[in-house]
Amino acid sequence: MSSPAAPTASHPVAAGVARLRTQVADLNQTPVWSMTPTETAQALADATRLRAQADELTLRLAAHADTTQAGVETGATSTAVYWAHTTHQTQRATATAMKLAHALERHDTIAAALAKGVILTDQAQVIVEAVDALPEDLPPEVRAEARAHLLGQAEHHDARALRILGRRILDVLAPEVGEAHEAKALEAEERRAEQKARLTLHDDGHGATYGRFQIPTHVADRFRKQLGAIANPQAGGEGSTPHGMGLALIEYVQRYPVDRLPDSGGLDATVVVTMTLETLMGGLKAAQLDTGTRISPALARTLACQAGVIPAVLGTRSQVLDLGRKARFHTKAQRIALAVQHGGCYAQGCERPSAWCQAHHLTPWSKGGDTTVEDGVLLCRRHHTLAHHPNYSMTHLPGGKVAFTKRE
């Protein structure tokens, strides 16, 4: 930021702002060590209110600058962008402030309270948002009463509490309208939260995976309680520390009943561990999951203790041999064998996992093909469709994969 400029401007506001900057700069050079606790507490409260008053003036200037298109002649795409560039703020910060600046033009009583330092800037933001979120067909007098009520509550509550009060304001002023409005608002909020649900997992290449997720709050509440019950020290957990909750998440996944796992493409979400008999009996050779992840023999034996063991006879090239059942549809055991053998979709260049795939007869069943592991592959939905599409031909590649070509 630039140093305070001399008050040479002609407009009272411009001159006053420059003069105040000089005065504050002088105060910033004044030691505070000699202030009594009472003086310090009062000055701290006054400085907080002073900042709110300065914010109101800044926002009013920003709204006027936007109206007069200040800075646009320099080539800036908007006044908010010009404001960010000249004051070294982020464009996101100035855009948010500009939105509040124009909102305060519609809510003069809120702006007046901020100008007097009666409320703080974050309180003003919350009150504006709460009033603007009220139903459009609400009578003007009810809207004004809601604004006045929240301004009064700002004397006793911070911005977070005001946000909660603002969402329930109609329960106080117009209960018959509030219930229907809240129900509608909650339904919309829950719908948006479900649409925004996300989960990403990233393997760091060193045996650990980190992730981020976004889920509806009501689901997170249940998830937090479930993990908290496992992490509870009285139940043998390590408490609600980040590490304790991480260990609880591990146990949460491992505790999931295998007989309740959902099916995906005909195969439940079971992770298959491939290991030698020597490893199972205590050897040192590493094991491998059907996802391709290598695990230590100790962990493999631990998993074997926690789940049933499915024996698979491997050929000389570690290929899973036919499990011997002949039926129209591949069995669950045969799908497991195909998942272990191929890992995922058998089409060249496709990386879809086995859980997203369907079993396919290389030799069509209608032409005498057998339902075996040897004559079967896993194909994702798209490539399985192409395998049966008359306009596409399937070619076996030297490396063992298949490719699809559109016929001329």
Tell me the range of 159-173, 294-308, 371-385 where mean pLDDT is highest: 159-173
**Per-residue pLDDT at 247 exceeds 80:** yes
Q: What is the mean pLDDT of residues 134-161?
A: 91
Least confident of 130-144, 268-282, 353-367: 268-282
Which among 88, 81, 90 has a CA at the least distance from the CA of 62? 81
Query: pLDDT tens digit string along 288-343?
Result: 776 667 777 666 655 654 455 555 555 555 555 443 333 446 677 787 888 888 77
CB count in 10 Å sphere of residue 122: 15
pLDDT at position 381 is 73
- Residue 338, phi then psi, degrees to nearest 5: -65, -35
Query: What angle do the packed helices 140-153 and 121-132 form, to 10 degrees?
Result: 150
* 3 or 162, greater pLDDT: 162
Q: Which of 88, 90, 21 is nearest to 57 (CA)?
A: 21
pLDDT at 93: 94
Closest-CA residue to 362 (of 396, 405, 318, 397) = 396
CB 66 within 8 A of CB 98: yes
Coil/strand/helix, residue 264: strand
Looking only at the bridges linking them, the beta strands covering 402-406 and 392-396 are antiparallel
CA distance 30 to 24: 10
Q: What pLDDT is recorded for position 234?
A: 56
Looking at residue 373, the DSSP 8-state letter turns out to be: S
Task: Decide if 166 contacts 150 (C-beta within 8 A).
Answer: yes
8 A C-beta contact, residue 260 and residue 266: no
Least confident among 154-163, 281-290, 319-328: 319-328
d(CA 187, CA 185): 5
Longest dimension (CA), the chain: 98
Mean pLDDT of 213-221: 85
Per domain, the residue ranges of the chain are 12-193, 199-255, 263-272+310-408, 273-306
* Residue 189 pLDDT class (50, 70, 90 cuts): confident
Report the pLDDT value the prediction gives residue 264, as an integer from 0 to 100. Answer: 53
